[in-house]
């Protein structure tokens, strides 16, 4: 994760306009930290729709894989970003995902919710996806929140494409019980521990 030091707050923070970083900036940053990647098998890279549909994206991926020590690159896209994209951008996403399938690149779509809109929107991308990351809060049934597609329905659907299911933001026993019932192996959230400050150890 890229960070820059803010001299006013004395804290590390995300660089300004990080979501609009040009691909050349991402390449130079990755190449800069490349010597530290020798012992890292996988590198995850969050990308926006505008970045992955850039006309230089295919060259970008080839360059990153060919000039670094990265053995496996994982690209993460946000489902909400895809929902905001127009129909032409969505077609471009499909085009690039088909090409990435031929490279040592895995693709994750995160922030998947329980809406039928998201379910229908993502169907075309499923053959080219390795992981889907779900926000457990979207699957909390209540009087004010209707669940169109349950986690179990998602699980059955993505099993056809051998997609790994990741459930995040798990915080309470009811949510733990749900993922236990569905035998979902990949989980994230405070229910499994909070971040620790290594300086205090």
CATH of the domain at 77: 3.20.20.450
**Region 9-37 average pLDDT:** 64
Confidence bin at 198 (pLDDT 50/70/90): very low
User: Over 60: is that where the pLDDT of 4 sits?
Assistant: no
The percent of residues above 90 in pLDDT, for the chain, comes to 39
Note whether residue 85 is domain-resident.
yes
Note whether residue 3 is domain-resident.
no
Specify the pLDDT at position 124: 98
pLDDT digits (tens, 9 = 90+) for 53-81: 998 888 888 888 877 777 788 999 999 99
Note whether residue 79 is domain-resident.
yes
User: pLDDT higher for 5 or 149?
Assistant: 149
Confidence bin at 113 (pLDDT 50/70/90): very high
Note whether residue 2 is domain-resident.
no
Note whether residue 59 is domain-resident.
yes
Specify the pLDDT at position 72: 83
Specify the pLDDT at position 121: 97
pTM: 0.77
| DSSP assignment string, 97-150 | HHHHTTTTEEEEEEEE-S-HHHHHHHGGGGGG-SEEEEEGGGG--BTTB--SS-
pLDDT digits (tens, 9 = 90+) for 144-185: 667 888 889 999 999 999 999 988 878 788 888 888 888 888
**Number of domains making up the chain:** 1
What strands, in cross-sheet order, belong to the sheet with 186-187? Answer: 42-46, 72-78, 105-112, 131-135, 164-168, 186-187
Give the domain range for residue 160: 33-193
How high is the mean pLDDT of the chain? Answer: 82
Note whether residue 63 is domain-resident.
yes
Note whether residue 128 is domain-resident.
yes
Note whether residue 18 is domain-resident.
no
Residues 108 and 74: their CA atoms lie apart, in Å, by 7
């Amino acid at each position: 994760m890229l960070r820059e030091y803010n001299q006013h707050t004395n804290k590390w923070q995300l660089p300004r306009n990080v979501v609009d970083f040009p691909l050349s900036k991402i390449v130079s940053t990755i190449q800069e930290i490349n010597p530290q990647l020798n012992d890292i098998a996988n590198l995850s890279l969050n990308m926006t729709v505008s970045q992955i549909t850039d006309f230089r994206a295919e060259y970008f991926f080839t360059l990153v894989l060919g000039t670094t020590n990265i053995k496996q690159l994982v690209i993460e896209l946000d489902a909400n970003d895809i929902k905001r994209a127009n129909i032409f951008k969505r077609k471009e996403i499909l085009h690039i995902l088909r090409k990435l399938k031929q490279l040592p690149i895995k693709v994750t779509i995160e922030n998947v919710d329980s809406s039928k809109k998201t379910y229908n929107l993502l169907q075309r991308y499923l053959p080219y996806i390795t992981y889907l990351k779900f926000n457990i809060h979207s699957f909390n049934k209540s009087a004010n929140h209707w669940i169109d597609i349950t986690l179990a329905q998602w699980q059955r659907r993505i099993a056809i494409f051998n997609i790994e299911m990741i459930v995040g933001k798990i915080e309470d026993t009811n949510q733990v019980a749900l993922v236990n019932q569905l035998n979902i192996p990949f989980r994230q959230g405070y229910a499994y521990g909070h971040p620790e400050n290594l300086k205090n150890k």
